């Protein structure tokens, strides 16, 4: 055996420098990435977001220049989030014609070639921070033992009232020029409601990217600094998915597909790559994954301590999301990664 070096299988043959690229199974391009942009109607100047180094809330007057910075890196698409001038229980500023996202969208689409996606939800617009107007919760069992002391058990989001608001939001975004509408509230029936409203108003060409499998995740923490959208009480577990559930994601996504979703999103990304992978197998639609603020912040924090090489781990993270089956990735690393191409 000592002299027998004739190994039939040597995978290392294909790992040599000049062949690696040819046999690489997954690629990552700036055109795969969507950069989130925060537009703040209450700001007069750019405000850094402490928990998301390198990101800022920008005033409406800076929305175009912010998007131009993104485009210069090679990233072609942005997702707009808005912080409104005022909040109320119903989140009415979310569909105002002169609302923050509507105004920013008009300027960005008039002055740049960016592909503009808009987040359609109410949590940044309601004074209680939930994703829709509230109602008294109907409980099937008054003696339920799963009472959660952290939750105000008498209030929850009114699903069907929220659908009406989402219809108005989507149409207002489309009228402002949004290229794609992305409902993120995990309301039952939201995709169908928005599809119907867009079609009625002549926006049948505007696609919907549904946050189809959005989990109730602790990884959203830094985003809540950025978008000022933390719920004032309780949490979002009554509408966002339980992190324990994988089969339920298939069911959620099937419903969105039936209602006409064009792109299916999983959020967060890295802790849910199994979901990305199973959706890739089950559906032919493009799959998006949202590499969320917590995934971004933890790599930044570790690199600030000198524990990780930021550029390398950012790229490896995004590559792994693509390898799992995502076609497009929303990520706060979009510009950093694209710049290195
Ligand atoms: Zn929301």
Tens digit of each residue's pLDDT (9 = 90 or more) over 252-309: 999 999 999 999 999 999 999 999 999 999 999 999 999 999 999 999 999 999 999 9
Predicted local confidence at residue 234, as pLDDT:
80
How far apart are the CA of 132 and the centre of ligand 1, in A?
Answer: 8
Tens digit of each residue's pLDDT (9 = 90 or more) over 148-181: 545 545 788 999 999 999 999 999 999 999 999 9
Cis previous bond, 154, omega within 30: no
How far apart are the CA of 122 and the centre of ligand 1, in A?
Answer: 5
Which entry of 87, 168, 214, 305 is annotated as an active-site residue?
214
What is the rounded (10 degree) CA torsion for 193, 196, 198, 203?
150
Rounded Cα gap, residues 37 and 31, in angstroms: 17
How far apart are the CA of 96 and the centre of ligand 1, in A?
Answer: 17
Name residue, tokens 């043959």. 13
Contacts 24+ apart (CB under 8 A), 135-138: 135/161, 137/238
The answer to whether the Cα torsion of 140, 143, 145, 149 is positive or negative is positive
Tell me, yes or no, if 87 is annotated catalytic.
Answer: no
Rounded Cα gap, residues 253 and 280, in angstroms: 11
Residues with pLDDT less than 50, the chain: 141-145, 147, 149, 152
Spatial contact of 98 and 84, defined as CB atoms under 8 Å apart: no
Predicted local confidence at residue 227, as pLDDT:
76
How far apart are the CA of 123 and the centre of ligand 1, in A?
Answer: 4
Predicted local confidence at residue 77, as pLDDT:
98
């Amino acid at each position: 055996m000592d002299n027998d070096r004739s190994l039939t299988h040597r995978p290392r043959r294909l790992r040599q420098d000049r062949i690696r690229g040819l046999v690489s199974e997954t690629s990552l391009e700036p055109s795969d990435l969507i950069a989130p942009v925060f537009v703040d109607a209450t700001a007069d100047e750019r405000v850094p977001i402490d928990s998301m180094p390198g990101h800022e809330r920008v005033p409406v007057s800076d929305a175009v220049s912010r998007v131009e910075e993104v485009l210069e890196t090679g990233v072609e698409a942005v997702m707009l989030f808005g912080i409104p001038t005022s909040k109320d229980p119903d989140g009415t500023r979310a569909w105002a014609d002169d609302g923050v996202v509507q105004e920013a969208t008009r300027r960005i689409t008039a002055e740049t070639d960016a592909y503009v996606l808009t987040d359609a939800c109410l949590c940044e617009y309601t004074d209680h921070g939930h994703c829709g107007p509230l109602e008294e919760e109907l409980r099937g069992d008054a003696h339920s033992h799963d009472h959660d002391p952290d939750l105000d058990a008498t209030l929850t989001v009114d699903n069907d009232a929220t659908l009406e608001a989402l219809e108005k939001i989507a149409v207002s975004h489309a009228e402002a020029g949004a290229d794609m509408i992305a409902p993120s509230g995990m309301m039952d029936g939201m995709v169908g409601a928005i599809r119907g409203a867009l079609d009625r108003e002549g926006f049948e060409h505007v696609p919907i990217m549904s946050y189809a499998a959005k989990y109730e995740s602790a990884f959203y923490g830094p985003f809540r600094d950025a978008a000022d959208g933390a719920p004032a009480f309780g949490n979002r577990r009554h509408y966002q998915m339980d992190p324990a559930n994988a089969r339920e994601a298939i069911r959620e996504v099937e419903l969105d597909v039936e209602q006409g979703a064009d792109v299916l999103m999983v959020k967060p990304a890295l802790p849910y790559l199994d979901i990305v992978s199973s959706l890739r197998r089950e559906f032919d639609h493009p799959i998006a994954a949202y590499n969320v603020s917590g995934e971004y912040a933890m790599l930044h924090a570790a690199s600030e301590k000198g524990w990780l090489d930021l550029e390398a781990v950012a790229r490896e993270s995004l590559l792994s999301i693509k390898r799992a089956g995502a076609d497009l990735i929303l990520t706060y690393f979009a510009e950093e990664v694209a710049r290195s191409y």
